[in-house]
Amino acid sequence: AEELADGRRQLQFGHAKGTQSKGRNFSSAPLYATFSANGLNQIAVAFQQHARKWIVPNTKLPRPVHYNCWEAVYFDHDINELKDIASRAAALGAERFVLDDGWFGKRDDDTSSLGDWQIDPRKYPDGLTPLVAHVRSLDMEFGLWFEPEMVNANSDLFRKHPDWILGPADQPRGRQQLVLDIRKKEVEDHLYNGISEILGANEISYVKWDHNRVLPIADAAQTDAVYRLFDRLCEAFPQVEFESCASGGGRIDFGILRRTQRVWLSDSNDAIERQKIQHNAALFLPASITGSHVGPHRCHTSGRTLDIRLRAWTAAQRHMGFELDPRELTEEEAGILAETTNWWKDNRDWMMNADILRLDTSDPAEIAELHRSASRDRFVVFSALLSPSDQIVPHPLRLTGLDADVRYCVSLKNRADVAVLSRGDCALKTVDLTLSGQYLMQHGLNLPWRFPESMWVVEGQRL
């Protein structure tokens, strides 16, 4: 989409030139377009509903609360520690445990073993079975990390098959790794057999499928081969849900979403960065497929320290999960996280089918959105103040997408978080309100004053 200097505007679309080999017939990828005379929300809702209804296959409902061990242990896998972490995660409300990178080959860092999809006997002398059994005994699903399309030069696979690399041999390395040429049938079969052996021998219901570098060449046949590999695995293991995690957000489109049920928007679990990332991703993606995790107290990517309340409510806006070390939580933090998780479980059935609507705010430090149920009988508003506000008194937050003539009961879910400095006469601090949709959309909600890096959660119920 482009506007030229003389005012002309143009749209161009089609397949990338030079990616198709000569002499073959093909159809370009479908183009999905929509139009709105009523701002971005009508566009967002159209894409969210289309993805839920027509694109993403067999999404498991209810969506299970996710736990990923990556930022708790990284490559340092000790089965007794992992069992302890799994037990603590379950106590907080997790329903799925995902074992991330580091379980295979001789994988102690990111320089080796990609392509060697055999369980590391040093870390798991009895295989994954004891850990899977422990996780299942906690009534949690078990998930596993793979990066099938990649290989390290320091791997048994590369030493045996250096000719399986996509692109020239002297290409620059990306993140210490090379790309496998899955266009070759023997490479596709090798990956299918290796992954199938792991999935078939263990009670695994989830695969986090990563892809951590750009391709050295553009060739549509590589994409076609990846789709074939996905399709073969989906057919052989219909109980397995797949997540598309590409460099923390690099491969999210309707082509891959026809084969996967969850996406990972970013490797940053900083709640402030997440607010911006997931808010804008909602122009295209529904909550049901958008993973969002409660990160560590001090974020590993930004170094920022954020309160557990903001981290937990940020994750509760999408498909909720944790990616922290539960052993580091204080008793108060564990209680807050468990309470927020229980709230999400109580509301996930309608929230995972809700329309996510952006709310216009007069304060640039605020990001706010409204999740409206499919039946339009309830909603929840998340209003995050990401930095200090220039407004001494908060302006009313005008809602959208409600029925003007309907009356709603409106309550502040996290009323206990009102700061002692919030002395203004704001009714929501103490009571629930009955207000018309017209009032909520035209005048708006008066929210209590709050400190930056905090969240208000407002629930609405149609009367």
Active site residues: 210, 267
Q: Tell the residue number behind the tokens 């879910």, with chain if given.
A: 413
Distance CA 182, CA 190 (A): 9
What is d(CA 19, CA 290) in angstroms, rounded to the nearest whole number? 30
Q: Distance between CA atoms of 52 and 122, rounded to whole angstroms?
A: 42
CA 368 to each of CA 291, 330, 358, 371: distance values in angstroms, whole numbers, following the listed order = 19, 29, 6, 10
Give the up-direction half-sphere exposure of residue 81: CA atoms within 13 A in the CB hemisphere. Answer: 13
Q: Phi/psi at 95 (nearest 5 deg)?
A: -125, 0
The number of helix segments (H) and strand segments (E) in the chain equals 12, 18
How far is the C-alpha of 381 from the C-alpha of 390, rounded, in Å?
Answer: 22
Structure tokens at 4: 């030229």
* Cα–Cα distance measured from residue 43 to residue 47, given in angstroms and rounded to the nearest whole number: 6
Q: Check if the beta carbon of residue 50 is closer than 8 Å to that of residue 275.
A: no
